[in-house]
Structure 1
């Protein structure tokens, strides 16, 4: 620890970190004071102490409030991570006191076959591990990862994230390949067809996700590559679970989902996958962790290995 860092450790307390996060979120001294249950003079004093500790102005003052400058944004981000790690430490201590061997906090897209299988595999290998799964949009989960609230996020490794300003803070690891998958009811006229091309499906009625999704864009690309206008879905819905339910009730429909989602629907029965060429790939699925010199924790590494194992098994089954 160098002299300047030692000075920070001696001068600043956790309350100063809370102040940084509160100001970063609220943007005014009044709102931050209410959030922290402190007076505005007390907050002003703490902010002065914090900026003195870092030897730089961190917030720009204006009649509208306070805005973190580039230096302040960097410090606020680190304050969030440190508070998040402190909360993680408390969770782990509480879990260990009640007999757990460790706690893994995972963020994941809402429907996935790989994550439940990987969690079961992980707990067989490391009995006593506790796993907290939070589902949602990958972009929002990644922000929670960066804030220290999650240990890892499972989701698509998209071009959008690979070219975003967040990438220097993240370490994405590709674990599973994925592709566009067409499902139909067992009673659909094409259900037993051996080999189909996209042109054979052009006149069909479709259930598909909205246009802003990777799956819908892949479906449109499949038809455009064949020189055909993409079909407009008869039913547009985001959830692959709903897609499967609709297909089971209406044997005239075809459904477009990603293969990772199709695995769950196929396991439930009543639907089957059509063999359609050419195959249309989707962005690979993988694990996002925070970039750091210390690398991912052992429990996260074990979880990543578990996902690889279940992915290999599912690839063999689908081959």
Structure 2
């Protein structure tokens, strides 16, 4: 902390929100109107901000104002910090225990997170948990913006700019794999194996096109030289709906293997052997903002997740079970 500029202590919350307004309006004059300030006053706020950080955050030109690459990273950090501050202010305004905001993918709600909360004895831990499930991209975006305290699920590191990844701390937890499945009443159930070519000829229910699982499925078919099936039904990031559709409509589905072990799947949904269709295993991670390293509730949840996965700190997750 000794390397921080002493000028940072003089910054105000309004100055940290300034970058958000500049990014939105692309004009210091428009930002002034939004803040009910003159343009020179906004310019001085920006100069003070850049002086405190010791770098140029905004490019000014006759066309307006735009964040520099460093300014964009600063905006991301400011968003996260301000969201954390707002959440703290909300918690301090009530006598209830603080809320830990956890983002995840729906499949992790079938076993991993409930098992961790059971291990943690959540009802007696003095912590309230807010669980939100969604697509990988949505959850990671909300984590980076400070709207979530942590995220448990799949991470698409290739789609994340390096400066953003550097804001995060992560722990690998476990791996699972995607499997093609169907109802026990489906004509393909009980077959020793089914080829990709034959699978593509049957009707499917698949995750929506903006999900990583859908991308994995389509890639697997293309790697076999077979066009990916066009689904009869698209389901947005919800394996529960896929299980119901497989059972009631006899559509083929592709879900994380852990989902098939749930009570909802029971013995009515069975996996298919698809030897030529390679579906990449899914690595599940625990991810949090570096700013929250010292948050006790975060440590408790992380340690419970590691315990459930049979890991100590520094251990390597077991390979996916095929």
Is TM-score (shorter-chain normalized) higher than 0.5? yes
Aligned partners of 2:182 and 2:272 also within 8 Å? no
Distance 2:162 2:46 in 1: 31
Aligned to 1:130: 128
Aligned to 1:305: 303
CA positional deviation for 1:258? 2.3
Work out whether 1:152 is the aligned partner of 2:160: no
Q: How many residue pairs are counted as aligned between the two chains? A: 306
Give the alignment of 1:100-115 within 5 angstroms.
100=97, 102-112=98-108, 113=110, 114-115=112-113
Distance 2:139 2:214 in 1: 22
Report SS of the residue matched to 1:166: helix
Aligned to 1:8: 8
Aligned to 1:256: 254
Aligned to 2:284: 285
Structure 2 unaligned runs (5+)? 311-317
Aligned partners of 1:138 and 1:153 also within 8 Å? no
Aligned to 2:181: 183
Distance 1:63 1:262 in 2: 59
Aligned to 2:22: 23
CA positional deviation for 1:60? 1.6
Work out whether 1:75 is the aligned partner of 2:74: yes
Report SS of the residue matched to 1:237: strand
CA positional deviation for 1:237? 0.9
TM value normalised by structure 1: 0.77
TM value normalised by structure 2: 0.77
Question: Residue deviations 1:74-104, cap 9 Å, x none?
Answer: 4333332332232232233235x23x1x421
CA positional deviation for 1:177? 0.9
Distance 2:215 2:55 in 1: 47
Q: Are residues 311 and 71 of structure 1, via their aligned partners in 2, closer, same or farther at CA, if it must alter by over 3 Å? A: closer
CA positional deviation for 1:156? 1.0
Q: Are residues 56 and 189 of structure 1, via their aligned partners in 2, closer, same or farther at CA, if it must alter by over 3 Å? A: closer
Give the alignment of 1:43-54 within 5 angstroms.
43-54=42-53
Distance 2:4 2:161 in 1: 34
Aligned partners of 1:157 and 1:286 also within 8 Å? yes
Question: Residue deviations 1:139-191, cap 9 Å, x none?
Answer: 23323322322211122133524775532222232212121122222322444
Would you tell me which structure has more helix in proportion to its own residues?
Answer: 1
Coordinate RMSD, CA, aligned: 3.5
Aligned to 1:295: 293
Distance 2:197 2:48 in 1: 70
Distance 1:165 1:71 in 2: 9
Aligned partners of 2:260 and 2:266 also within 8 Å? no
